[in-house]
Structure 1
């Protein structure tokens, strides 16, 4: 393996592949306690609408089995648990233990128990059998995965035939004026908010950089197709600042 092949991006930095996971974990360890507050501040609350749209496009029904990767504090998992009911099952999974524990405490406090499980797992190597889930989702987590194609391959593997994979992620604005405003906000306002609210500007600078390094909408669509998913499509939200990609295992 060449030196170039042994490195990957962490934001705009090039780091050894084996270091990226540790660095991402440190970012989310740092922000876990203020994660929900920062989400509301950063997006002016619009992230709730993005997630609501993702839940609608997931098409989850009563009695189904759902896997929510990079689940964070569990917004999608909580909604899915209510939809599938007592005859269904939702697994809330994250690679970061601090985020998973914070999410579990949050959902326990809301009384969402019974059909919800919590599993610490790496999206690139899922500890589940083939054809296990009716729906697999990942919201605002794929950009932090070192080997994104491997994670998408795993999502396809654990889906049942007829199941849906859904990726909700920051993406690339579809017009230049919006891109300029978005860049100004991302690199000036976000780190300032991070410093004032979470006491951590570096983590939110990484957030802005990781979004810019994430594949654009057509590229990510081709990655879903490469994973073996079919009928793949994407939906731009808020001018492409966020996109939802969906594909089916047929």
Structure 2
């Protein structure tokens, strides 16, 4: 008898084919209050983390950029200004509610010239090979069922010389861990319940962070999928890390 392949959903082990659906339920639930919760639970720091990614990315006019797990479009808004009318930014997200939030937000901001929107799974990106100058993913990789498959898909659609940028929660410094655990496991679900009416989704958020590879492990995984000159930068004492890699 063949044993069914499983993966983690937070601290649970579930059949691998169920994860995408369960993650989708989480983000359908919180989409309308997602930006507010990001500001509250990070004390606004997520804006600085994303700004660091944008600065490190060396975005120039005319570039083609793919923002995977684009959410409500924070990165895309800044990319749109930097690439100009001759560039192109595609927001891709597996979750229709998040993609709708991102599209409405950018339209309200007057960003109608260069963004496109595609509902897509990071593991099988429906774009031409060697097409994008940059591929970015911010706080989305930990929700992907098969990270190595997604990374290979991102590698395929990048141009030679193109850059991958991953912003994700990571492993904080040891002196910070006890306080971080109290905040994460005790306060965040309560905040999620208060603001969104959904404590379980933010409990999953915390658990998914703990199950995500640490800085060195993720760097090795990125390298193993073909990327070169890989490096990472710890932000806020390692609570978040920015990883980068190049396709040559």
TM-score (norm 1): 0.98
Shift of 1:241: 0.2
Partner residue in 2 for 1:205: 203
State the partner residue of 2:229: 231
Return the offset for 1:174: 2.2
* 1:243 aligned residue (236, 241, 244): 241
Match of 1:118 in 2: 117
Superposition deviation, residue 129 in structure 1 = 1.1
Q: Aligned-pair distance for 1:2? A: 4.8
SS in structure 1 of the partner of residue 62 of structure 2: coil
Shift of 1:59: 1.3
Match of 1:183 among 178, 181, 202: 181
Partner of 1:3: 3
Report the CA distance between 1:191 and its aligned residue. Answer: 0.2
1:132-211 → structure 2 map (5 Å cutoff): 132-175=131-174, 177-211=175-209
Deviations 1:72-130 (A, max 9, x none): 00000111111000010000110000000011001100001111100000000000111
> Paired residue for 2:45?
46
CA distance in 1, matches of 2:165, 2:139: 11
Paired residue for 1:222? 220
SS for the counterpart of 1:239 is coil
Secondary structure, aligned partner of 1:112: coil
Provide the aligned C-alpha RMSD in A. Answer: 0.9
Give the corresponding residue for 1:13: 12
Paired residue total: 248
1:20 counterpart SS class:
helix
Runs of 4+ in 1 over 3 A off after TM superposition: none
TM normalised by structure 2 equals: 0.98
Unaligned residue ranges in structure 1 (runs of 5+):
none
Write the distance in 1 (CA, Å) between the matches of 2:222 and 2:59. Answer: 20
**Matching residue of 1:108:** 107
**Separation of aligned partners in 1, 2:58 and 2:148:** 24
Q: Secondary structure of the equivalent of 1:224? A: helix
SS in 2 for 1:240: coil
Aligned equivalents of 1:2, 1:79: Cα separation in 2: 48
- Whole-angstrom CA distance in 2 between matches of 1:39 and 1:81: 21
Distance in 2 separating the partners of 1:243 and 1:20: 24
